[in-house]
Amino acid sequence: MKLKKNLQEIISELKTNEQFKENIVTWETIEEKPAQTVSMPESLHPILSQALNSKGIKELYTHQSTAYKTVMTGRSIVAVTPTASGKTLCYNLPVLQTILQNPNARALYMFPTKALAQDQKSEINEIIQASGVDINSYTYDGDTPAAIRQRVRKAGHVVITNPDMLHSAILPHHTKWVSLFENLKFVVIDELHTYRGVFGSHVANVIRRLKRICRYYGSNPVFICTSATIANPLELAETLTEEKMCLIDNNGAPSGKKHFLFYNPPIVNKPLNIRRSATLEVRKIAGELLKNKIQTIVFARSRVRVEIILTYLQELVKNQLGAKSIMGYRGGYLPTERRKIERGLRSGDIYGVVSTNALELGVDIGQLQVCIMTGYPGTISSAWQQAGRAGRRHGEALVIMVASSSPLDQYIIQNPGYFFSKSPETARINPDNLIILIDHMKCAAYELPFKKEEKFGSVDTEELLEYLTEERILYRNGDKWYWMNDSFPAHNISLRSASQENIVIVDQSDIANVKVIGEMDRFSAMTLLHDEAIYLHQGRQYQVEKLDWDEKKAFVREVDVDYFTDANLAVQLKVLEVDQLTSQTQAEIGFGDVSVRAMATIFKKIKFETHENIGSGPIHLPEEELHTNAAWISLDQSFAEMGQDRLEQGLTGAAHALNHIAPLFVMADPQDIHVVPQVKADHNEKPTIFFYDRYPGGIGLSEKIYQGMPEVFEETKKMIEHCQCESGCPSCIGAETINEQSKKDAIKIINVFVKFSGSVDKGSVKSVLEK
């Protein structure tokens, strides 16, 4: 019988194995770091000290001690330390200490996911049980039984929830929560870095509503935020809560030795610079680790990719480990299924898990030894969060990032300095986005009438109240505005997506036992749940028999096929209003409001192993429209001499490359900003490349592009020029544009914009506010 290798033996083998070694571009070893501790604060209640002692905690890490002392002086804080550094005690200690001193005190904990809320409830309950005191902590989410809800409202010292429940179930019914709001001393916001973009902008407004209700009941809670590493934690926490914050980042937690490898798959087609599939390389590496029973987590960018890798791995190891020892984990699985997987990872019954970023956050899944990323996750902070899943407490850990052929992956893998030395992303939110703000003003008016002179956000609140009165949503009586509708507004407002309604996925493989197996937002459903799409769930394949768009249901049936599907999205863009414009010879840069119309057009069937196209079909779905912000850059007419075809291919190639580099420079998720080329833009009839925010009303990303356009184009030019292909390839200018001239034409177009002298000069920007 073959002996199993341990992790150290595998790491040594990776260093000597020729086949593996030649694909490793970077091997960065992060040395272990000892703990920095201080003794327990003298003011800490003896019962709490004893409880921590019984759990083996005799001292506090430096950041835990600073957090405790700062909060106890009544100041709000944001604590920023890496994954698994004991951030939980930063809030549990001051909260429990305060409740022991004042049994009427209450705390509200907010986590971005239900899984995290369940996990943290266990954590605080362990301390409460060890203390032997009568403190009640409850989770309040969609799974909380009706019989328990009243007890939570009346007797919960610590109420643990998520933003969606706070928004739709707690704030609208605040009269049932009087004992919470009258005595609310703390609001804890964990995983602060997840509140970015449209979700963060919504949550900032939920917090405005929460503070408004607290004022009504006479309470003024302290805010305790915790976050993984981002570039602007203090700014984000202060924008989100509209409170003055104290930053705590003196991390004292120990960390084990970590090997971080950048792995670039071998080239299989030299002229086109096409590399072997990252998915197939991940299968090979993860398969080797799992056969040796080394607990491994594999991250993939999409639900489809998770299911493809899971199918491969379960097939690969079923004779040695049994398929149930490797599981998938992503949004769309039902809660019971997810809890079972988390337990299996902690107990060690599950050796491998393939996950989307759903497991990026701090859910306790035990001590995994290896983390493999299928491609760059899209942001530096996400990559470090995922890497933090390996070697969570002590011991050596291995992290391997396997690059795909995408330009973004190739840029990161060939510029390790950017990744290891660049501070992580700036999280941007725009709580005063009018679409989001008006939605929450409706919710706030339902909760409590608005008074004259009352502020809600930094815009003119009274003007918006008058608008809502004209629309017959509110009515004015004296100096107050009241909600005048029977329906309750929070119910129809989703915090998590620009589209408000989800599609429910119904499995009808067994007609006697039809069941719901998941859900998906409308924008994703256009490309993943159209008729005939292959939907993957826990390694099983389902074909979509019918997508009922009006009823928001997708009916699926289990099938066994050797392909998956991928859909094309056609985008049309129109400028509605020009806010800013800068002109120079050969080009002009603009920024303003646009309308984006998107439509799923055709889908392709792609074979599992070879990834070749084996068929296609049309998609019949209505168009979705989006009003948002965009930056654009237009060429003058001198480029017409290139000819229509070459100009179109050059623009498409440039846009393809920019689509991958732009998110790095606005430091956003690649899904948040899209790049679209037009040979003849509607508003000025010039060849134009647009950058638009993929959210209604925009969240400030395209404006940042407008201000830093030359830098974005400079880096894109470098990336195309450094690509090893001859005349263009999927790793630089995309696969649809390749002919003899494609690469040169893309560089020629990008060069015009690089010459745009310096950054956009704010002084020379002229406002053109006509429609």
Percent of the chain with pLDDT over 90: 33
CA distances from 222 to 78, 246, 248, 347 (A): 11, 11, 15, 37
More confident residue, 137 or 365: 137
Question: What sections of 17-135 are H helices per DSSP?
Answer: 18-21, 46-54, 62-72, 88-101, 114-131
Least Cα distance to 494 among 695, 279, 300, 283 occurs for 695
Q: What is the mean pLDDT of residues 81-105?
A: 91
Taking the alpha carbons of 250, 253, 255, 261 in that order, is the dihedral positive or negative?
negative
DSSP state of 167: I
More confident residue, 122 or 104: 104
Percent of the chain with pLDDT over 70: 89
Same fold, 7-30+256-421 and 37-248: yes
Please give the radius of gyration of the chain, using alpha carbons only, rounded to the nearest integer.
27
- Asked if residues 693 and 701 have their Cβ atoms less than 8 Å apart, the reply is yes
Asked whether the predicted pLDDT for residue 771 surpasses 60, the reply is no
Q: How many residues does the chain have?
A: 771
* pLDDT at res. 538: 55
- What's the whole-number average pLDDT of the chain? 84
pLDDT tens profile 558-600: 887 778 787 877 888 899 988 988 887 778 889 999 998 888 8
50 C-beta neighbours (distance < 10 Å), count:
12
- Asked if residues 234 and 247 have their Cβ atoms less than 8 Å apart, the reply is yes
Q: What is the mean pLDDT of residues 362-376?
A: 79
Q: What is the mean pLDDT of residues 94-104?
A: 95
Asked whether the predicted pLDDT for residue 66 surpasses 90, the reply is yes
Question: C-alpha dihedral over 589, 590, 596, 602, to 10 degrees?
Answer: 0
Which region among 40-54, 72-86, 393-407 has the lowest average model confidence (pLDDT)? 393-407
* pLDDT at res. 332: 61
Output the six-digit token pair for 511: 């007609």
Q: What is the mean pLDDT of residues 152-175?
A: 93
Output the six-digit token pair for 402: 């396997």
Domain boundaries, the chain: 7-30+256-421, 37-248, 434-492, 502-561, 569-767
Question: CA 247, CA 227: separation in Å to the nearest integer?
Answer: 11
- Asked if residues 635 and 751 have their Cβ atoms less than 8 Å apart, the reply is no
Question: What sections of 503-602 are H helices per DSSP?
Answer: 522-528
- Asked if residues 363 and 119 have their Cβ atoms less than 8 Å apart, the reply is yes
pLDDT tens profile 173-192: 999 999 999 999 999 999 89
Q: Please give, one letter per residue, the 3-state secondary structure of 436-482.
A: HHHHHHHHHHHHCCEECCCCCCCCCHHHHHHHHHHCCCEEEECCEEE
Which region among 15-19, 171-175, 496-500, 742-746 has the lowest average model confidence (pLDDT)? 496-500
pTM of the model: 0.77
* pLDDT at res. 748: 86
pLDDT tens profile 111-128: 987 767 877 888 898 899
CATH number for region 7-30+256-421: 3.40.50.300
Output the six-digit token pair for 409: 């992956």
More confident residue, 338 or 592: 592
**Domain 37-248, architecture per CATH:** 3-Layer(aba) Sandwich (3.40)
- pLDDT band for position 765 (cuts 50, 70, 90): very low
Asked whether the predicted pLDDT for residue 552 surpasses 80, the reply is yes
Q: ∠444-447-450 over CA atoms, to 5°?
A: 60
DSSP state of 176: G
Asked whether the predicted pLDDT for residue 50 surpasses 60, the reply is yes
Q: Which residue in this structure is represented by tokens 């409740």? A: 99
Identify the three-state secondary structure at position 90. Answer: helix
E strand residue ranges, 177-285: 184-189, 222-227, 245-248, 258-263, 267-269, 274-275
More confident residue, 268 or 740: 268
- pLDDT band for position 360 (cuts 50, 70, 90): low
* pLDDT at res. 770: 28
Sheet containing 258-263, strands listed edge to edge, beginning at the edge strand earlier in sequence: 24-30, 258-263, 397-402, 370-374, 296-300, 352-355, 326-329
Asked whether the predicted pLDDT for residue 323 surpasses 60, the reply is no
